A = this chain, B = another copy of it.
Amino acid sequence: MWRLYQFPLCPFSRKVRLLLSEKGVGYELWRENPWDPSDGLWRLNAAGRTPVLEDSAKGIVLADSRAICEYFEETVDRAAMINGTAANRAEIRRLVALFDENFHGDVVAPLLHERMKKRLVLRQPPDSRVLREAMKLAHEHLEYIDWLVDTRAWLGGSTMSLADLAAAAQISVADYLGGIDWTGHEQSRGWYAVFKSRPSFRPLLTERMEVIQPPVHYAKVDG
């Protein structure tokens, strides 16, 4: 049985969870706090962060969310998520990197700092200037997703792919933290609503991170 080291608002763990669920791979959750990684997590991952996936019976440890996704793409045929020609696959991986790095760095990382770490650890109020900037950049990213949805059946091409999972994972954390204003983004909202209704996504949407509550629309399929 795989054990996933994660915390509820880790967008990279969410991407892995979506992939495992779509592929029908079972796992148990093991909680880590990103502001205080355990010695055990450091031993398993020199980067000291989630997600890490461990099968202690088989002696396999996987770290880094993209490496984990590639591993299951190579070993589990069901629900292929990096599909098509080499050029199609490069396009999917480009988008995964865009969401993992740019959407995360511009939007999710500042929201997690201001609305999670400051509340739970630093005991400081959020900086409204930083929040405004993150929401402004979220708006720009949603415009790009609107364009992708206008252009293609799914974000990465003609079928659902890891690009969709990566985007939904980041957006879901930003939405939980009140950083997404869907106004004017009907295409992105429609794509995300389809995604929210998937069985792989439902368990994520019902989890809560201690005292931090999401907005009312967060877990609603038509929200």
Contact = CB atoms under 8 A, between A and B. Distances in A.
B98 A46 contact: yes
A93 B75 contact: no
A102 interface: yes
Interface residues of A, number: 27
Contact of A74 (B68, B86, B97, B144): B86
Given A71-B89, A75-B86, A94 B144 contact: no
Contacts of A66: 66, 93, 97
Contact of A70 (B47, B68, B75, B89): B89
A67 interface: yes
Interface in A28-46: 45-46
Interface in A84-103: 86-87, 89-91, 93-94, 96-98, 101-102
Interface of A: 45-47, 60, 62-64, 66-68, 70-71, 74-75, 86-87, 89-91, 93-94, 96-98, 101-102, 144
Contacts of A67: 90-91, 93-94, 96-97
Given A64-B93, A67-B90, 19 more contacts: A46-B102, A47-B97, A62-B87, A62-B94, A64-B97, A66-B66, A66-B93, A66-B97, A67-B91, A67-B93, A67-B94, A67-B96, A67-B97, A68-B90, A70-B89, A70-B93, A71-B86, A71-B89, A71-B90
